[in-house]
């Protein structure tokens, strides 16, 4: 005989999906029955036995339907077998004990059962207890095992023996010595941890595949082993990464963070080298294609091209939040004040709408000496006196002084600004001594001196001393003529 409903058909799953809805009815009913029983027995309330029996009847009916729906839902598969088994038998237990409790309470049946009153309370107690355990297992099945306790705060966390909260590994830490790194442990596994393990782990094994250990990759999932050692092109995990993102079989699924080209190159390379478990980079053949990807793992280098990390050190500074009143005072003076970015308290201040801003108003900046990172005072009335105040903005990173009256004397104050990377001195009276002063600042990356009093010879001299510093002096009549000629001559040559 065939029971069509018991196959994993559309109908079965349709009804099965009602399990999470139905399951809450017996939970509620049973607890009500238990509470009524307690209240009745302690004499706190006045309810008849038939009322309790009525609630118990519907608890039992609800539990039975929840069991049926739950079984149908489980046919869809994808659950941890052991946990599912526990949950099922506890659920069935709830239904059975609820029926027993009702039988012992009902007017029709209670008197026919010997020792009835003695087993009534244990039956009700067991049904209630099983409700809790079955409910917990059900929650674990749906949301994952550590869902309930994931955010347990200290000190309860250590008291309950829960391991410390794992930080989400979104960034892979750079490797100090790539040559000596163990390929699987130090390179492959962190990539898998970052991009794959979230869905392929002990408690959640999508496609029956776990990727948290090498042996489990070899074991594979529904589609066979995750890779074929020596043949990346035939390896499922690589093939899936290379499918178009819109493809249903593409991994990681659309919308999740994807592997970078370099990461795929590294995984392919490891597989092509026979997927060794404990070989180091230096023991394997490093192809030209994988070299840049390997280099990107090292400390202090970005993925390709530039060698210097361009993120300013100042951006990782933790400074206290600015006082709103101080910011309001700046805004009243016509300055724009904006936060640099979320999660930090640095600010940028611009006087673009305050052309009359002058030395006297500089005092407004003083209370924000830690927070101001970018300061734009171009086209204002400030003079050298203002630079003494600016020198106190110890976390200053970018400074615009173009089209102001500042001179060499004022610039001498700025020497101790450790984070200053950009200074704009276009159309100022600053001359060669000023350029030399700012060039001696260690962190400085670019200085703009077009239409200032800085001479070309000083620019070339300072450039030689500080080859990493970008000094831009720009065009004048003569160099523009050269620029025009350069374009014209190449044009004519080609024609």
Partner 1 sequence: MEKLLKELQHADLQRQTRRHFLQSCGFGLGALGLGSLLSSCGDSTAGTDISAENILAKIPQFAPKAKRVIYIHMAGAPSQLELFDYKPELVKYHGKDCPAEFLEGKKFAFIQGVPKMLGPQGKFAQYGQSGAWMSDYVPYLQTVADEITFVKSMHTDQFNHAPAQLLLHTGSARLGRPSLGAWAVYGLGSENKNLPGFIVLASGGRQPDAGKSVYGSGFLPSVYQGVQCRTGGDPVLYVTDPSGMNRNMRKQTIEAINEINRQTYEDVQDPEILTRISQYEMAFRMQMSVPEVMDVSKEPQFILDMYGVKPGEGTFAMNCLLARKLVENDVRFVQLFDWGWDGHGTSAGDNVEGGLRNKCQLSDKPIAALIQDLKMRGLLEETLIVWGAEFGRTPMQENRNGLVMPYMGRDHHLDAFTMWMAGGGVKKGYSHGETDELGYYGVKDRVHVHDLQATILHLMGFDHEKFTYPFQGRNFRLTDTEGKVVKQVIA
Stretch that binds partner 1, among 88-96, 125-133, 142-150, 472-480 (CB under 8 A): 472-480
**Pattern of binders to partner 1 over 176-215, x per CB under 8 A?**
----------------------------------------
| Interaction mask 263-302, partner 1, x per CB under 8 A | ----------------------------------------
Smaller CB separation from partner 1, 105 or 398: 398
For partner 1, the closer CB: 230 or 474: 474
355 binds partner 1 (CB under 8 A): no
Rule CB under 8 A: say whether 494 interacts with partner 1: yes
Cα angle 49, 52, 58 (rounded to 5 degrees) comes to 140
- Long-range own/partner contacts, residues 341-345 (CB < 8 A, 24 or more apart): 341/315, 344/315, 344/317, 344/318, 344/319, 345/318, 345/319, 345/320, 345/321, 345/371
Q: Which of residues 241-260 bind partner 1 (CB under 8 A)?
A: 255, 258, 260
- Residue 428 binds partner 1, judged by CB under 8 A: no
| Whether the Cβ atoms of residue 334 and residue 353 lie closer than 8 Å to each other | yes
Stretch that binds partner 1, among 127-135, 184-192, 195-203, 486-494 (CB under 8 A): 486-494
State in angstroms the smallest separation of the CB of 473 from partner 1: 7
**Residue from 15, 56, 66, 346 in contact with partner 1 (CB under 8 A):** 346
Q: Determine, following the binding rule CB under 8 A, whether residue 460 of this chain makes contact with partner 1.
A: no
Cβ atoms within 10 Å, residue 107: 9
Candidate residues 5, 333, 352, 385; the one interacting with partner 1 per rule CB under 8 A: 352
Q: How far is the CB of 370 from partner 1 (least distance, A)?
A: 16
Nearest approach, Cβ of 429 to partner 1 (angstroms)?
17
> Cα–Cα distance between 2 and 354 in angstroms, integer?
85
Per-residue x/- marks for partner 1, 135-164, CB under 8 A? Answer: ------------------------------
Q: Which is nearer to partner 1, 203 or 339 (by Cβ)?
A: 339
Residue 353 interacting with partner 1 (CB under 8 A): yes
Chosen residue from 63, 426, 438, 444 binding partner 1 by CB under 8 A: 426
How crowded is the C-beta side of 98, counted as CA atoms within 13 Å?
34
CA pair distance 461, 472, nearest whole angstrom: 13
Out of 133, 198, 339, 383, point to the residue binding partner 1 (CB under 8 A).
339
Q: How many residues bind partner 1 (CB under 8 A)?
A: 46
Determine the Cα–Cα distance for residues 368 and 372; give it in Å rounded to an integer: 6
In the beta sheet, which residues pair with residue 447? 423, 471
How far apart, in whole angstroms, are the C-alpha atoms of residue 426 and residue 440?
A: 19
Binding site for partner 1 (CB under 8 A): 255, 258, 260-261, 303-306, 310, 312, 315, 336, 338-342, 346, 350, 352-353, 400, 402, 422, 424, 426, 446, 448, 450, 472-477, 480-481, 483-484, 486-488, 490-491, 494-495
């Amino acid at each position: 005989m065939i029971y069509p409903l018991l196959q994993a058909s559309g109908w079965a799953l349709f009804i099965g999906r009602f399990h999470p809805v139905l399951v809450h009815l017996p939970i509620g009913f049973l607890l009500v029955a238990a509470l009524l029983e307690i209240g009745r027995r302690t004499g706190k309330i006045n309810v008849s036995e038939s009322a309790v029996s009525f609630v118990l009847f519907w608890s039992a009916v609800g539990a039975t339907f929840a069991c049926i729906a739950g079984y149908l839902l489980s046919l869809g598969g994808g659950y941890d077998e052991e946990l599912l088994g526990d949950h099922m038998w506890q659920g069935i237990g709830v239904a059975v004990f609820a029926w027993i409790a009702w039988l012992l309470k009902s007017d029709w049946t209670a008197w026919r059962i010997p020792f009835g009153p003695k087993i009534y309370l244990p039956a009700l107690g067991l049904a209630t207890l099983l409700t809790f355990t079955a409910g917990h297992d059900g929650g674990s099945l749906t949301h994952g095992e550590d869902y309930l306790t994931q955010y347990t705060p200290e000190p309860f966390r250590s008291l309950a023996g829960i391991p410390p909260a794992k930080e989400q590994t979104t960034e892979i830490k750079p490797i100090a010595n790539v040559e000596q790194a163990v390929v699987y442990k130090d390179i492959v596994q962190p990539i898998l941890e970052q991009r794959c393990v979230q869905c392929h782990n002990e408690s959640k094994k999508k496609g029956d595949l776990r990727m948290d250990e090498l042996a489990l990759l070899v074991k594979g999932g529904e589609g066979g082993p995750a890779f074929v050692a020596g043949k990346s092109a035939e390896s499922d995990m690589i093939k899936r990464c290379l499918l178009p993102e819109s493809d249903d079989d593409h991994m990681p699924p659309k919308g999740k963070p994807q592997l970078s080209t370099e990461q795929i190159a590294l995984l392919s390379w490891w597989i092509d080298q026979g997927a060794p478990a404990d070989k180091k980079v230096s023991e394997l053949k490093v192809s030209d294609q994988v070299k840049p990807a390997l280099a990107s793992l090292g400390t202090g280098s970005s993925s390709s091209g530039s060698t210097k990390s361009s993120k300013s050190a100042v951006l990782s500074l933790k400074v206290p939040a600015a006082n709103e009143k101080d910011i309001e005072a700046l805004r009243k003076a016509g300055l724009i004040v904006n936060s640099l970015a979320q999660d930090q308290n640095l600010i940028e201040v611009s006087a673009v709408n305050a052309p009359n801003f002058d030395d006297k108003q500089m005092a407004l900046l003083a209370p924000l000496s830690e927070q101001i990172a970018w300061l734009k005072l171009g086209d204002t009335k400030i003079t050298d006196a203002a630079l003494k105040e600016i020198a106190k903005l110890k976390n200053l990173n970018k400074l615009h002084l173009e089209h102001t009256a500042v001179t060499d004397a004022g610039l001498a104050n700025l020497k101790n600004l450790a984070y200053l990377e950009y200074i704009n001195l276009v159309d100022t009276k600053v001359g060669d001594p000023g350029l030399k002063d700012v060039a001696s600042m260690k962190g400085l990356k670019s200085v703009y001196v077009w239409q200032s009093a800085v001479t070309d010879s000083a620019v070339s001299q300072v450039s030689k001393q500080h080859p990493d510093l970008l000094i831009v002096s720009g065009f004048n009549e003569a160099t523009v003529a050269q620029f025009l000629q350069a374009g014209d001559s190449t044009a004519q040559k080609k024609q």
